[in-house]
Amino acid sequence: MATIISSGNTGGSDTSKHRFNTSYILGISFVSALGGYLFGFDFAVIAGALPFLQKHFHLDAYWEGFATGSLALGAIIGCMVAGSVSDKYGRKPGLLIAAAIFALSSIAMAFSFSRDAFIAARFCAGIGVGMASVLSPMYIAEISPAHMRGRMVAINQLTIVLGILFTNLINYGLRNYGEDAWRWMFGLGFIPSVLFFIGALWLPESPRWLMKAGKNAQATKVLEKIGDASFVNESVSHIAISLKGAVKSRYADIFKKAVLPAVLVGIGLAVFQQLCGINTVFNYAPKIFESIGASQDDQLLQTVFIGGVNLAFTILAMLLVDKLGRKPLMLIGAGGLAVVYVIIVILLGNHSAHVSWFLLASIGIYAMSLAPVTWVLISEIFPNKVRGEATAVAVVSLWAAYFILVFTFPVLFEQLQERSFYIYSVICVLGFFFVWRKVKETKGKTLEELEKVIT
């Protein structure tokens, strides 16, 4: 085991007295986070495929938005399923189901024979995305020691952006494979889906879920693989106290007075992360660059640059999230995007090629702040007793907001052109004040200690 000395532990447990098996923690975190990779794949593949789909299925602005947003509708169902499956059967079975759905939906999208069949298959892919978006960060948060949790949960965001980058690279490489290139773009998702399924078979169950299910001996065995004896004893004691008097949780429990404030903050963060507008750049980059006269090759090349910047700044976020803290990064993201969007409006209006630099800047700001930190906060702020249900509700809200964003953007852009980004700038200003007033810092505290701070 490697000895880890805690840094920046503000009021939490003294992790410096414990020894942790860091390679094991990293291993199970990365495997669980493969769900994030597939999330990134299904999220990004539409950007490269959309120009082909528009021609193949004759999509207008409405159907363009609906084909893109159908992933979110499926994700809403997936979130709801994930909450009940993970609380009844465990986090691991939920991850296995998500992996199977990813694999089957990739093949179904590749062989779609009509617009409606494609949308139905993408809806099913969304179910897998929704389950993974709930379960991967939740699982990582529950197996990670407090001082490592921010970085470990941020691994999920790292795999999401790796999925986006690799998918954009593959899409660019397939751009000249004829009018059916889009089928390869979607079908290749089968390979990482199978790898995720195989990896998930190796994962241990979450010790917090095991104790909630009354399987204390199994929970202890898992904790023994993570840390030393004093860490195991302390963790078992803290988890037991947090679950004391717990009954079977229901969705109605999240509306109780003691829990509702945290739930509302979680919903607010989730909705803001989407309505801030950045995913219009991820999903509709070809359309935006087409508006300033870029060729189709250049449009797809810009998605590769977007993926690269997204990766670089996500790594930066992983280095900062447990040092600088969650709240400062969220404030930087909200304020920075509000300013950059105004510049983007001006440059798009002048058909300036320099707009690409500021679109990349917006991606970088988002990637080091709102993108990973929202997932970290959602995985942290809910009490153990209702974590499954509360996380599912927050992530359902996130996907509902994503659907609204991507469904409305083609129509807004058709009517308002670059002025659409003024709307997102205003939303970012509102989000800044929401974070400033309502979000409390969570770095360095155990999940059990956070229950006392937030609820």
Local structure of 20: helix, strand or coil: strand
Contact 340, 362 (CB under 8 A): yes
Average pLDDT, the chain: 82
* Mean per-residue pLDDT, 304-311: 86
Mean predicted confidence (pLDDT) in 243-264: 72
Domain ranges of the chain: 19-203+245-454
pLDDT of residue 1: 32
Decide which of 447 and 223 is more confident: 223
19-203+245-454 in CATH: which number? 1.20.1250.20
Q: What would the pLDDT profile of 114-148 be if each residue is shown by its tens digit?
A: 999 999 999 999 999 888 888 888 888 888 777 77
Residues shown for the chain? 455
Per-residue pLDDT band for 102 (boundaries 50, 70, 90) equals very high
Under 8 Å CB-to-CB from 143, ≥6 apart: which residues?
Answer: 25, 28, 29, 204, 206, 207, 222, 226
* Predicted pLDDT at 7: 32
Distances (CA, A) of 441 to 194, 321, 435: 38, 11, 10
Q: Which residues pair with 73 in a beta bridge?
A: none
Contact 109, 15 (CB under 8 A): no
Confidence of residue 396 (pLDDT cuts 50, 70, 90): confident
Torsion angle of C-alpha atoms 202, 206, 210, 213, degrees rounded to 10: -110
CB atoms within 10 A of CB 117: 14
Highest mean pLDDT among 149-163, 179-193, 404-418: 179-193
CB-count burial class (<10 Å; 0-12, 13-18, 19+) for 64: buried
> Closest Cα to residue 266, out of 440, 101, 45?
440
pLDDT at 298 over 80: no
Nearest alpha-carbon partner for 239 in 223, 257, 258: 223
Query: Higher confidence at residue 429 or residue 214?
Result: 429
User: Is residue 46's pLDDT more than 60?
Assistant: yes
pLDDT greater than 80 at residue 455: no
